[in-house]
Amino acid sequence: MTIKHSIKSAVMAIRAHKSRSILTILGIVVGITSIIIVMSIGEGAKNLILSQIQGLGSKTIAILPGREPTSPTDVAQLMSDSLKDKDLQLLENKSNVPNVSDIMPVVFGGETAYYDNNTYRITVFGATDLVTKIFDIYPSQGNFFTAEDVRSKADVAIIGSKVKDKLFGPSDAIGQRIKINNKSFRVIGVFGQKGQVSFFNFDEMAVVPYTTAQQYVFGIKYFHRIIVEADSETNLDSTVKDIQITLRNSHGITDPTKDDFSVQTSADLAQRLGTITDILTLLLTSVAAISLVVGGIGIMNIMLVSVTERTREIGLRKALGATNRNILLQFLLEAIALTGLGGVVGILLGSGISFAVAIAVSRFLGLNWVFTFPINGAIIGIVVSTAIGLIFGLYPARQAARKDPIEALRYE
């Protein structure tokens, strides 16, 4: 019996029991589908995060309060108030950090904005007039506040497009006053639809002078971030070191492991977050792969039942000259065909669901989520499903090949 004939016999056997074949490969389909979905969504999330980080630019440095977390118990350190006005002044001093081109303190938090009877939950973003340069975002209507507005703690705000629509509808917002935390702000500008820029959704934001936000909105005297831009990429590492030395001297820190701040570049953040998403994807993929083992056990169980049901057929084939190798090959190919079919269906189903998720996230959440077909996942799916058919189909195939032809023909 040729291999071609063995394959044909395996396909005929599968088609003869369609319902059972579908139920048999269900575990494989679920496992491969899960792997494809996890890998596709994981890659999409990674690309989204990296694109948001890259939105800050390659020369941007972020200074965060609190020690950089090294374990879950260190997360509370992120809520530190270690970045103060004296630190900002020292960092602005060229003798301390000579290669800084721009520096901007940032405070932010969620608040409710009011206009007449309309309310909307927004993010209040306190910064300087450098926001336009660092984040590359400019008002489509009106103007941005000035450095003088920051010094005088002016009650002015630039609102995002969604904030404008929710509070003012089709009416003109320029010159109107909104209330945030019992403080009245005059709207001097409206951003065009921008969406997410480096983790901040400017469509749902009100940008105000940081001095005003500190005193009248949040009631704090520290910063949530200090964003620094180096004068060139070649001076990025030296600027990071100068910032660390300046802040350690300011805070009286001699041991770097005791830092109450962390300094991150866009490249550092991209690498760390990329590693985290890769680990999470691998972990979830491993969990999803467990169902493949369950599916393999199901394949072996059904193949054993098939061997028992087709005992007389096995005896007849042997009586007509089929060897043990022919019988083993026939049943082994049948198991591989089942799992291979399950792998193909799983890849198609997983890709379809992942594509639908990408469209839904982009449309309803306003994120720039791009569908990514996981080629590695598809290759793994085909290889693993075929390997499962080979491994879990080998025992039933050997049981079929070992049957005595005379006893098999007598089987009722």
| 29 lies in the same domain as 76 | no
| 256 lies in the same domain as 142 | yes
| 222 lies in the same domain as 287 | no
Query: Of 239, 265, 291, which marks where a domain is finished?
Result: 265
pLDDT on residue 328: 74
Residue 170's domain comprises 60-265
CB 69 within 8 A of CB 175: no
| 85 lies in the same domain as 156 | yes
> CA 406, CA 65: separation in Å to the nearest integer?
82
110: CB partners within 8 A, 6+ apart: 121, 122, 123, 124
| 143 lies in the same domain as 212 | yes
pLDDT on residue 25: 73
- pTM equals 0.59
| 238 lies in the same domain as 92 | yes
| 64 lies in the same domain as 48 | no
> CA 16, CA 10: separation in Å to the nearest integer?
10
pLDDT on residue 79: 55
pLDDT on residue 71: 46
- Provide the residue-wise pLDDT of the chain in tens; the chain has 412 residues: 456 655 666 566 666 666 666 777 777 787 888 888 888 887 777 776 666 555 555 678 888 888 765 544 444 444 578 899 999 999 999 999 998 888 999 999 999 999 988 999 999 999 999 988 888 889 999 999 999 999 999 999 999 999 999 999 999 999 999 999 999 999 999 998 876 666 678 899 999 999 999 999 999 999 999 999 888 878 888 898 999 999 999 999 888 888 889 888 776 666 666 676 777 777 777 776 777 777 777 777 777 766 666 666 766 666 766 676 777 777 777 777 777 888 888 888 888 888 888 888 777 766 667 787 888 778 877 787 778 777 777 766 666 666 655 565 555 5
| 239 lies in the same domain as 312 | no
| 249 lies in the same domain as 375 | no
pLDDT on residue 406: 59
User: How far does the chain reach from its first CA to its final CA, in angstroms?
Assistant: 26
pLDDT on residue 241: 92
| 330 lies in the same domain as 391 | yes
One DSSP character per residue, 36-57 reads HHHHHHHHHHHHHHHHHHHTT-
| 304 lies in the same domain as 361 | yes
pLDDT on residue 387: 80
| 137 lies in the same domain as 279 | no
Query: Of 265, 298, 317, which marks where a domain is finished?
Result: 265
| Count of the separate structural domains present in the chain | 2
Query: Of 225, 249, 265, which marks where a domain is finished?
Result: 265
